[in-house]
Structure 1
Amino acid sequence: MRRGARFRLARRMSAALLPGERPSALPAHRGRTRTSMLAQWVAYLSGLGGVFAVLSLTVPPERQLEALGVELIAIASCAVASVLWLRAARLQKGMAVMLMTGCGVVSTVAVVLASNPPSGAYIDLRITRREWLMLLGSFMIAAIAIRRLVTELRDRAEQLAYVSRTDQLTGVANRRAWDEEVPREAERARRDGLPFCVAILEVDRLKAYNEMRGHREGDRLLQRAAASWRNCLRSSDFIARYEGECFAILLRRCSMNAAVAILQRLRMAVPEEQTASAGVARWDGHESSEDLVRRAGEALHAAKTSGRDRVKISDIDPETTSVTATDWRNLIQDVLTQRGVVAVYQPIVTLATGEVRGFEALARPNRQLVDLGVERMFAAAQEMGLARELDWLCRRAALEGAAAIPPGVPVFVNCNVSGLVDPVHRVDQMLLLLRYVGRSPRDVVMEITEREIVGDLGRLRSVVDAYRQEGFRFAIDDVGEGHSTLEVLAATQPEFVKIARSLVVAASSTGARAAIRAVVAFARETGASVIAEGLEVAASARLMRSLEVDLGQGYLFARPSLLDASPMTIRLPVSGPQVPVPPEPVDDTPWTLGAAVAADGGAA
């Protein structure tokens, strides 16, 4: 099978598999029936007859009128052949037969006049039957060769157009086809007065999926997701791979309610039990296609920063979008350049005595410089590839703000995995920072957060060993949720294990208690201390003590706050009577150790 034929067959098969594609994305090949093919061959012969008549005029006849007649008939033969060639695929059968008959008659007259020299010619030009057949065969061979070259050129042009407009991984349209299709649809909707919506759909946490299963499996996930979404869309809709794990969808003649329903169906169709986030915007009737797509992208960002696995609608007025829309990249850059981060501190106490054992430094945006939530700040930095820079800025703020904490009291400094293993911010950089703030590495606990999946446990283990040789200690944050897995615990062997708030809150259930006991058993085996996070009521603190959890942290003891000159007296005594958590049942209402001291009269 010829390459052009194979390509046409493959393109037709892909067009059958892609119901969401429009003919503009996959150019259709013109079908040929037997009548049209016969008409084209007759057009070839008729055109050859006209060319032959024109060539015969190289030996001019004696009479100018005869020469003019041959020219007119030759021109007529070529004209009829051209019309028949160009319209062969669109002509009805009866009209095609009439034109073929007329074309044959005209070409035959042209050949007869040209091959029979008129009387009185000076040169006797005679062509035998053999010579005529040889000449006609030569013209036919040339015509066939030209036809094959034209067909091959057309196939190559269509193949190039197809490849330039199709994403090679998923088989849907690419960004170029999308950029051409949206303005075209906006113009059509403006002319016809019909609504349409644009949506940006993204597979959640594809980077983490790639790190866990490999990029090949990630590519297969995108292929299966694209195929699944094509099957869920209407035949009039248009889907394209926008960039990376993002897909853009054009929903023609679609209201916002219908668009949300379609996107919810697409979100539920993601394979491998993965999730997807989507943002959708409805064309307002006059905005540009760029503004429309940008609004859909901002809605997608809102869906991601609010927890992912959801659909967000763009409700921003396009006329004020340029003023009110958030420029996340510039905002995060402002946080980094202006050091727009401050640290607040929450004490970690011994549940049995109420003694302060350390402080966790929690980074917060400086609201005097930027108006931004902490979770949104970290999520935006993660998406823009600035998580390492923000992580280092938070470390600096945590250590610079801890000057009031006395020596010997550890400061828990949060760090993500990518920032910890970053070769730019190695342990020597941390030592320089500690030398600047005047704190010993033995008073710093590097608390590894759960925001990222750990891809290279060997690299993490080597970095932890390098820090530990300098005197740093480690804690694993939020064990029981996020990405704080048993593999990370085994690889780092931390000195502190922090139980996630979700387990602490659910500790009354059998499953949560069993998980907490497993964490405590691991800590006892490795010599680590266990910290219960999110303690807000006395009953939770008593239950943690019964499960042999040593330390606690939460609003029950103190809210995160800036440090004053005497941080060790924030709601908690350093010396004097010890204040145990009350053993008798009490109401599940927030309480402070100060209130407990007053209630118990300071007795142990």
Structure 2
Amino acid sequence: MSHVVQLRNRGVGTPMRAVLALAILWCGYPLVPQGAVRDGVYDAFALACIAVGFWGASRLPSRVRGRWMVVLAGFGCWVLGDAVFSLEQHVFDIDFYPAPSDAAYLAAYVVLACGLLRLMRSAATRSELTPLLDAAIVTAGSGIVVATFFIAPIASDSTLGLPGRIVASAYPAADVLLIGVLVSLWTMAGLHVGAYRLLLLALLAMLAADVVWNVIAMRNPEALTPAWLDQLWLLGYLAAAGAACSRSAARVNRPPRSDHPVSARTRMLALGCGLMLPGLTLFLDALFRHHVPWQLVSVGSVVLSTLVLVRMGLLLKTVEVQAVRLAALARNDALTGAPNRRTWDHELGRAVRRARDGDGGLCIALIDLDHFKRYNDEFGHQAGDRLLRGAVAAWSAVLEPEELLARYGGEEFGLLLPGCDAGEAARRLRDMQKRMPEGQTFSAGVVVARPELDPEALVALADRALYDAKHAGRACVRVADDRFSEEALPAVDIALKPIVDLESGRQVGDRACSSFDEGTAESVLAGAYRDGYGPELESALVRAVLRRPRAGYRAVPLSAEALHSPLVRAELAGDLSGVVLEIASPTEAASLTGLEDVLSDLKARGARIAVSNWGSGYFDGERLARAQADAVRLDLSHLQDLLREDREAVMRASVRWAHERGVKIGIVNVVTPQDWEMAADLRFDFAQGSYFDDPSAHLTTPSTVAE
């Protein structure tokens, strides 16, 4: 195979070496004496260029060979016209106009345009009007210039007959056509291959030479062609031959590397020049001629304006389509095509608000594919992707238009079912279960929306139901109990213990103390969080405590973890005046991270924040500030070591530090009058303990405290 490639490379290189040899001869063309000899050399050189071009094109692959042959045939018609023109001048001495050579010259434009259009169709990546409109705008602007300075004077030239005026006008008109084709080729194909660059050079050289010659002929019809102008035409033939012989000529049917081969800035520059040409035409005509062809300029300006409006319309349409696509990309999951998490959050909020306003019921479901990781490990990630896409396609086929299936994350999906009750939602999910591809299954949790719960709390309930479905053996649907049935939670006894003002001896509130049959409150809560139902347990405790009537403050113990849960925050909705939330966390203070806004909202609705275990290692000054605490609770049993004579000053300084910041201090486990006296002597504010629990006890301030 490598030998074939080497032979092919050598075959393509041979015509290119001939082009390089012709380029050397081209440099010496100005040395040829003027007259019949120069004309003969000109014709021979042009013919040699076209012959070499056909030689190179014949070695190209069949898919592009015919296109290059047509392009070279167009240049060949110009060579034929040059040869006939030389015979007319030096052999037959023809002096009438139009002459036979004009037929070959004009035919060249038609053949060349056909060949270039075939090349453009092979290079274009898409069929759209934008590149053609850009070319039409530049062509229309150029046409106004050509019509004003070339066609209009020719049409009014009385020395030419009607055929002469028609043929003479056809040349600049054909040049305008060539400009349009050239711009189309540039905008659609760009300059991504060398063959295009050489071909554009050839066309620009021929076009520039034509324009210069038309200007010279208009000023002096008897003028002879200068050598440098002949050399410019010959450069066009040479570049065309080089384009057909280059190795990149075989790649012209490949699309450019980007959808826009020409940069936006370059395109705007070209369009701007085209738009300025009518105004420039009027300016130059007013300077030099004072014979403005108003009809041509007016019609050209109208055509140009129409093209610009159409171009702007297409641009606006493109922007609208791209905006829709961008919105779809931003709202849909790239893998499955389902709405993504962003869309889910938005639509969930809307659906909950509609249900809250009485616009029908709403069920929210979370779906999780069973053993998806194992499926990925066994069949590969591509198979996992196909499973996700197949599941979404199968489920979407049975959903109503107003229902929403979204990818929640990974192999988990969210489902909104407006107008459904729990039974109907479970039936729909079981029907979706039957449509799972590849024999796979899913687990699902369903919750019925309640007006008092926000979207986050509802999703947490659905997630808890999904957790129950997983633990029930998977491949099933579980409906969340939106009442948090306390029968399913550990048995608890909640007692309200008095809180006493140490200075007056009067009860100012109470503190909820929970006792469980299964162990201490701390151990039961730790086990609940370990087993996944901690927020449910604490939300039930909070609800039970706040439902009881109260006089004065009600202290509600709460873990920092609970405040992260939407379920617990839902129980703390509304006015919280007179409620003291006593935060006790057996974990690091990092559990308070992210709760700043939650704590601020609770305090804004009347709640007071207290922290427990202050000084025992759980809450220091930093944690006190982070919790936005209004009070701290100390355990008397933890203070015995601190009340030694050598450490008592540290304790009193800590109390002063707290009071300076407006923080009240409470003490628990007050058992004897001596405990009361000690707490009062240390300037504590409140106390709670078994000494105050007996309702028959007559609470009087100890004499030492009263004094």
Scaled by the length of structure 2, what TM-score is found?
0.29
Q: Which has the larger radius of gyration?
A: 2
Scaled by the length of structure 1, what TM-score is found?
0.34
**Which structure dedicates a bigger proportion of its chain to helix?**
2
